[in-house]
Amino acid sequence: MVPTGVVAGFPSPAEDLGASRIDLNKQLVIHPQATYVQRVSGNSMEADGIFHDDILVIDKAIRPRHNMVVVAVVDGAFTVKRLYDQRGRVKLRAANPTYPDIVPKEGQTLEIWGVVTNCIKQFPRA
């Protein structure tokens, strides 16, 4: 028997554990033709729960808006940051105070490549 949900507190003996499968594509992918996955390298987004070696699900069909976590291309290099877009000011913010904001300078290219919709974690296996 496979549980339909798992309680993260005390288990409920009254809960009937049904056997239903979860289709990860249905859960994680909204736009299949515009969805990609990338593995994270680095620790600039740790306060947002995104850690080194996590896998990001990125949707290029979602319009990026202020405060979304995005994958951006800055001068040809990919980075994951939180988008700040207010009153004509755009910058990319890290979720780790040891990393400075990325503020586009004159002549610098910045493209929002996609919006991060999910983060998949892998735990160590013995």
Whole-structure pTM value: 0.83
Token pair for 9? 């507190």
Give the catalytic positions in this structure.
Answer: 44, 81
Q: Which CATH superfamily is domain 31-120 in?
A: Umud Fragment, subunit A (2.10.109.10)
Helix (H, G, I), strand (E, B) or coil at 25: helix
Mean pLDDT, rounded, of the chain: 89
Does residue 15 register a pLDDT over 70? no
**b/e burial code for range 18-48 (CB count within 10 A of at least 16 → b):** eeeeeeeeeeebeeeeebeebebeeebbeeb
The string of pLDDT tens digits covering residues 67-96 is 999 999 999 999 999 999 999 899 999 999
